[in-house]
Amino acid sequence: MLPFYLLTLAATIQAHDLLPGSCNFESNTCGYTSDPDFTSWTLHKEGRFVSVEAAASDDQEDQIGADGGPQRETSGVLLSPALEQSEWSCLRLVYQISGSGSLEVLQSTEGKSFDRPLWSSQAPSDSWVISSMDLQNTTEPYTVVIEGKPGPSTGSSVAVFEIHITPGYCLDCNFEESHLCGYSNQWNANVNWYVGGGGSQILHNNIPNDHTYNNKTGHLMYVDSIYAKTFKEVAKLVSSMTTVPMSGCLSFQYQRSEERGNLFSVFTRDRLGQYQELWRAGSENQNDWSGTLEEWIPVQVEMKAPYSVQVVFEVSFNSARGGRVAVDDISFSPEFCSTDTEPTFDPSIANCDFESGFCRYSQEQMIGSSWKRVSVKPNIFRNGDHTTGAGYFLLAHSWLSPLSGYVSRLIGPTLPGNMKYCLRFYFSLRGFNQTDQALAVYLQQGSSQERIWTQGEKSRGIWITTDVTFQTSKPAKVVFVSTCKSFWDCGSVALDDISLSLGDCELTEGSLLPTLTGHCDFEAGLCGYTQDKQSDSGDWVLRRGPTPTSYTGPRADHSTGFGYYLHMEASPMLSGQSVRLLSRPLRGSRGPQCLSFYYHMYGSGTGQLSVHLHKDGEDALLWKLSGEQSVAWLRATVEYRSNIQHQIVFEATRGSSVRSDIAIDDINLESGPCPVTKIEAPVGSSNEIE
C-alpha cells in the first residue's frame, strides 16, 4: 500500500511523455509476450492487469503467448518488445505479490546470455505497490524481462498493473502525476507531507502557487506545523531507493516560513538506515505565506551515491507555530553542480591480486622483514594463492628474516578523507602461538595511526576472507602490519586479493551492481542449478568445512574460508559412477561466452571432472581433468559458443578409492571471451603455508 497519508492510488499513472515499453494492459499487452519456455502470464481485461498464479485458473482469460503445452514450472517470464532508448529513462512498475512469491525485473541485451538485474522484491502486499528503477542510457537495443514466481501456497500470485517508462531520472519529480514519482510520506501521528495545489486544498486554502506552472492548479508537496504537539516533530518525504550509482547535482525548489520554528534538511539514507546530510536550509528572510508574494528558492547540492540510497526531505518543528515548508520540481543531473567538485573517487586503485606486482602498494625501507611476493606450483602438500591456486601472493615469515623478530608493513595508496570504505582481503596464518599481532590493519592519517582490525583466531592454514568498514576524517592510507617479536612464537602470514569499495561492508553485499545471474558461490543454495536425477548415480552435496574422508577433499570453501561449496562424496559410490549438475536453461548467443569456476581435486584415488554443453538433447565436451591435482583450489576458464538455448553440465566421476572427493565453487558465467591470464614461472618458496 502506498504510504502516503490521505492518499491512495485512486487514479492510475497518467500518460505523460511515455516512452515505448509502457503499458496499462487495458485492452492488450502492448507487445509484451510470455516466454514460451515458462508459465504463461494471463491478461485480465476486466481488471486491466496481467498475472501468473501458483495454481491453474478455471477462468476463461486470454493467455499471452500460450502454446497449449504443459506448464513446466510456476515461473512466468514476461518479455517487452525490443526497445531502443539512447537517453536515460525511468521505469515505474505497479505490481502486487499476493500470498507469497517474488518479482524480478531484468534488462536483456541482444547477444548476451545473461540479463542484468534491475530490481527485485519478495514482499507480499494487500494492494498495488509502485517501484521505480533507472534505465541507464545505452546504444544497444534491449528487452525488459519481468520474471514472476508465485509461491507454492494456494492463491499465491504475482500481478503487474501498469508499466510506465518516462525520460529522465527516477529522482526527478514535479508532483503532477498521481504516483508522485515514487516519493512517499513517512507517516507521523501529527505532522506529514501533503500534496498541495490542484485547485483544491484538503487542509489549507493559502498554499502558494506551485513552481512548475506558477498557479493554483499545479501540484507541490508541503508540510505544516499546525498539528505539531511535541518538541521536535519530524516529517519525512522519502524517494524510492536508487538502483544504480548516482553522482551529480540534485536540484529542487522550496519555500519556507517561520524559519526560526523549523529545521529543513536533505539527507541520503542507505539500506542500513544510516543518514548523511547533503544540505540544510539557512536564513532566507522569507515572509509568511499569507503575504501576497511568494518566491521559490532554488537549491543545488552535490550528491555522490555509489550504492543504493533514498533522498529524504526532512522538516522538524518545535511547536504548532513552526510554519510550513513546500518542495517542488526535484531533478537530478549527472553533471556536478560546480566545476570545482572532485569526481567520485575510484576505490579500485587499492585493489590488488599481486599477479603482476605490488600494484600501488609499497613498503618502508626499515630494519626487519619485508613482504615477499611468492608463488607455488599446484601440488598436494602446499597451498597456492587465492586468486587462481597457481599465482602470486604476499608472504611475511620469520624464517625468511635474518633477525629473531620482524615487523612487515605494507602501505596502500592514499584515500580521500571524509568517506566510508569497505576493505576486503584474504589471509592465511600458519604456526603462530599468539595471533593478536600476527596480522593487523591500521589506518594511517597524517602522523596518527589507528588499528582497525586484528586477527583473533588461528586460520588453520586456509584462505579466509574478512571485511573491514572504516571511516576517514582526512586523507589516509591502509597499512597491513605483521609483527613477530620472537622467532619461536611466529609462523607465516599470507595476504592476497585486496579490494576496496565505497560504503559500509554490509551495503556492498547488496550493492547497486547485483550479483550476476551467472554467478554462484553456493552461500544461498544452488542458484538455480539442479541435480540430474536421470543420468547420474548420486548427488552433488552442499558442504561447509572439511569432507568426512581424510586425505581428500577441501578443508574449506574458496569464497570465504568458512562458507559452502558443492562436492561429490566418494564414500557411498562405486568406481566409475558419476554425479551431474545442470545449470538453468541459458539463451543462445552469437558471440563467445566465458565460464570460470574453481575446482578441488585432492586424493590419491581422484577420478575425473568434466564440463559439458547440453543442447538439442546431447552433450558436447568442453573441458575435463583427471587424477589428483592439488591440495589447493584451482581456477579453470572455458570459452564456448552456442547460438541456441543450452545448459552447462558439471560431471564428477568417482575414482578407484574413497579418496576421490571432487568439489567445485564460485561458478561464473559471463558474455564475451575469457580474459587472457598469464602466470609467470613461480619464484620463491612457500613451504611456510602448508
Task: Please tell me the distance from the alpha carbon of residue 84 to that of residue 523, in angstroms, as a whole number.
Answer: 37
Return the C-alpha torsion angle 629, 633, 639, 640, nearest 10.
80
Indicate the residue type of 222. Answer: Y
User: Which pLDDT does position 451 carry in this prediction?
Assistant: 94
Distance set, CA 536 to CA 374, 489, 560, 570, 617 (Å): 41, 50, 30, 13, 16
User: Which pLDDT does position 66 carry in this prediction?
Assistant: 44
| Largest separation between any pair of C-alpha atoms in the chain | 93
Task: List the grid coordinates of 147.
Answer: 520474471
Residue 507: enclosing H or E segment and its boundaries? helix 505-508
- DSSP designation for 55: S
The counts of H helices and E strands in the chain are 1, 42
- DSSP designation for 384: -
3-state DSSP: the chain helix, strand, coil percent, rounded to 5? 5, 45, 55
The answer to pTM > 0.85 is no
Distance set, CA 115 to CA 122, 139, 420, 530, 626 (Å): 19, 16, 30, 20, 34
Q: Which stretches of the chain score pLDDT less than 70?
A: 1-16, 55-73, 111, 113, 199-206, 259, 283-294, 365-369, 398-405, 432-436, 457-459, 487-489, 508-517, 677-690
Note the pLDDT tens digit of each residue in 108-118: 887 676 788 89
Task: Please tell me the distance from the alpha carbon of residue 520 to that of residue 611, in angstroms, as a whole number.
Answer: 16
Task: List the grid coordinates of 125.
Answer: 502486499
Using left for φ > 0, alpha for ψ between -120 and 50, and beta otherwise, residue 603 falls in left
Residue length, the chain?
690
Exposed/middle/buried for residue 427 (C-beta within 10 Å: 0-12, 13-18, 19+)? buried
CA proximity to 278, closest of 314, 306, 244, 242:
314
Task: Please tell me the distance from the alpha carbon of residue 204 to that of residue 198, in angstroms, as a whole number.
Answer: 13
Q: Taking the CB of residue 263, how many other CB atoms lie within 10 A of it?
A: 17
Note the pLDDT tens digit of each residue in 197-239: 876 554 455 678 889 998 888 999 999 988 888 778 899 999 9
Task: Please tell me the distance from the alpha carbon of residue 426 to that of residue 556, in angstroms, as a whole number.
Answer: 13
User: Which pLDDT does position 57 carry in this prediction?
Assistant: 46
Task: Please tell me the distance from the alpha carbon of residue 179 to that of residue 22, in angstroms, as a whole number.
Answer: 15
